[in-house]
Amino acid sequence: MKRLKSFIDVAATVLVVIAAGLVIWRMLVPAGASRSSPARIENATGTLPAELTKTALGSGQVALVEFADFECPFCGRHARDVEPMIRKTFVDTGIVREVFVNLPLPIHAHAGPASEAAVCAGQQGKFWRMYDALFQDQGGLEAPDLTARAARLGLDPTAFAQCQRSAQARAEVERHKKVAAEMKVQATPAFFIGLVQPDGSIQLRKRLNGALPFADFNRAILEVTPAELRSRVPKVTFNSQRADVNDIF
């Protein structure tokens, strides 16, 4: 009997501790706070200012805005596996313009210098070639690697080096980071889809979180694309591959 009573006392104590823990947890976690991953695709509002849309590929009326980190592995996977399909299907057909916003994360030591190198390449009209080169091989982001990539892309070495030494490229990256914070973008990759306005700004309509499959981008872009442009979109056959919504850094 003593053993049974002792066991009951211990069990009761454990239950009391668990109950107290649940009460404290509920007090600390705001009511309605999400404890799951962000939605793959969600509606978005707001406007991306025109000065942040200068790093663009294509001239379509629909804009796909990418917030990315050149050292982020999921950003690299998107750039290698999905972005080429977006480029072929929507950019080359004149429907979408891709806009890039630098968001080097503090957890990645080489992301900041890589972003600045991309900005410097953009000053010589070769941002997107540097974009492709950086994401194709994310293992080489040290300073000598960035200089070598610039040389392979045919950039003027003196102008590239001067740009890297100046504060101009870093200031541009900092402006991008500030806008990302204002738009509550804290992980990469993240994407917005919207319509380009006459002043060059982008009226946002959709947000995509993570390295998602092309099918998700296809659906979201078509939902934003004006009806008169949809007939220009080529038909696409999808495979069974899909990315996990948690594929963000």
Query: Same domain for 1 and 94?
Result: no
pLDDT band, residue 6 (cuts 50/70/90): low
Average pLDDT, the chain: 85
Query: Same domain for 146 and 97?
Result: yes
Give Cα 218 to chain centroid, integer Å. Answer: 16
Q: Which residues of 64-81 are buried (b: 16+ CB within 10 A; e: fewer)?
A: bbbbbbbbbebbbbbbee
Query: Does 206 or 238 have the greater pLDDT score?
Result: 206
Residue 205 inside a domain? The answer is yes
User: Which pLDDT score, from 0 to 100, does residue 243 have?
Assistant: 40
| Residue 208, both tokens | 């995509």
Query: Same domain for 15 and 124?
Result: no
Cβ proximity of 119 and 163 under 8 Å: yes
Residue 247 inside a domain? The answer is no
Say what percent of the chain tops pLDDT 90.
71
pLDDT band, residue 18 (cuts 50/70/90): low
Number of structural domains found in the chain: 2
Q: Which pTM value belongs to this model?
A: 0.80
pLDDT in tens, 185-209: 999 999 999 999 999 999 999 999 9
pLDDT in tens, 34-47: 445 668 899 999 99
Instruction: Count H helices and E strands in the chain, helices first.
Output: 10, 7
Residue type, 243: A
Query: Same domain for 204 and 161?
Result: yes
Residue 216 inside a domain? The answer is yes
Parent domain of 186? 41-230
CATH code for the domain of 123: 3.40.30.10
Query: Same domain for 1 and 56?
Result: no
